[in-house]
Every structure is written in structure tokens, then in C-alpha cells.
Amino acid sequence: MGSLFPELNAALRDFIGQQKMFFVATAPLAADGHVNVSPKGLDCLRILGPKTVAYVDFTGSGIETVAHLRENGRLTIMFCAFQGPPRILRLRGRGHAIEPNDVEWDTYAGQLPQLDSTRAIVVLHVEMIADSCGYGIPLYEFKGDRTQLPAWCDRKGPEGIAEYKATKNRQSIDGLPGLKHFADRQTADGQPT
């Protein structure tokens, strides 16, 4: 049986800080839309308050999380203990994505790690904190962060990353608007400019 917590206390903060990976889950409002679950790493999450967390959203081939947050704000972040005592911790609430041109960017960017591939910051205002046993989660040994994303960014360069975002992050697989900078630049018939 799991427990509910009113806020991220010291023990929960410590648990989160020990995890090398977490998962984010979002879904569109449409019943036939695609539910999205994404793994995250590279030490990109920070606890900003007793009921607020944020993470850096790095450039990738999909834009589902940002698109779903733009549409409805529902977000769950899940941590699993792959080492040590078994535990699963879920943070459920309302989130929003902040892009580099947004007014809030400077407020959050200085509190989070930045890489060349940063495309957004996702902030979660936590409404429910719940844990469960995690007895079925296997044990894994952390060997290190992967180096492919920073190397990919170096090869692409700023212009290449911008072009990639314009191509891959304009809209979700369900056609929801993705990054504002690119999603808003469409012709009247909905085609990209």
C-alpha cells in the first residue's frame, strides 16, 4: 500500500536526488490521441519548492510532452528506484513548458543545467505526491550518462539544431501545436511556412 505526502519533504527530495532517470507521462484530451511516456536523464531535474519541480526538455525527435502541456497541462513524473530499497514515486499535477522566448525563461533557466540542445523547461506544480512499493522493479547498475546528445549538438551546431526543431518539433504526432516559435509560423491552411 502506498502513501500520500502533502509536499516534497527532505526524505523525498533525497530519494529524487539519487535517481539517475525519471519518466514523464502526458496525454492529449482526444480519446483517440496518443498517450506519451518519455524517459529523462542527464541530471536535468531540480526541486524548486515543496510542491514545484522543473526539468530541462532537450531537443528530440518528438514534441509530445510540450504539445500535451500546451493543450491541457496534465503531467505525471515518475521515479523508480533501480538501486537500493524498492520504491516508486509519482508526482502528479499541472505543468507548463517554458520556451527561450517566454517571459518566464530567465526565472527558471538559471536554476537548471543548460545544454546546447535545451528547447524548453518543463515546470510541474505538484497536486499529488504518492509512492508505492516498487517490488517488481528490477535492479540496475548505473554506469554513467550517455554522451551522444551533447556530441550530436556539437556536430549540428546552433543553426542545425534550429533547423531540426523547425522540422521535428512543429507539432505532435496527433497534430497538436509543438514549440510555439515554430508551431505559430504556419500559413492559413495550416501548412508550415
In single-letter form, the type of residue at position 10 comes to A
Q: What is the DSSP letter of 43?
A: T
User: pLDDT tens across 86-97, in order?
Assistant: 999 999 999 999
**What are the φ/ψ torsions at residue 133 (nearest 5 degrees)?**
-65, -40
Q: Where are the alpha helices (DSSP H) in the chain?
A: 10-18, 64-71, 105-109, 148-168, 180-183
Task: Summarize pLDDT for 12-71 with one digit per residue, the tens.
Answer: 999 999 999 999 999 999 999 999 999 999 999 999 999 999 999 999 999 999 999 999
Q: 3-state class of 55 per DSSP? A: strand
What mean pLDDT is predicted for residues 69-78?
98
Question: In the numeric block, which cell numbers belong to residue 123?
Answer: 515546470
Pick from 112, 132, 101: nearest CA to 52: 112
Phi and psi at residue 98, to the nearest 5°? -115, 125
Domain ranges of the chain: 3-183
- Is the dihedral angle over the CA atoms 157, 184, 48, 45 positive or is it negative? negative
Pick the CATH number of 3-183 from 3.40.50.1970, 2.30.110.10, 2.60.40.10, 3.30.450.40: 2.30.110.10
Residue with cell 528530440: 60
Query: What pTM, to 2 d.p., does this model score?
Result: 0.92
- Whether pLDDT at 192 is above 70: no
The answer to whether residues 174 and 33 touch, using CB atoms and an 8 Å cutoff, is yes
Q: How far apart are CA 62 and CA 157, in angstroms?
A: 19
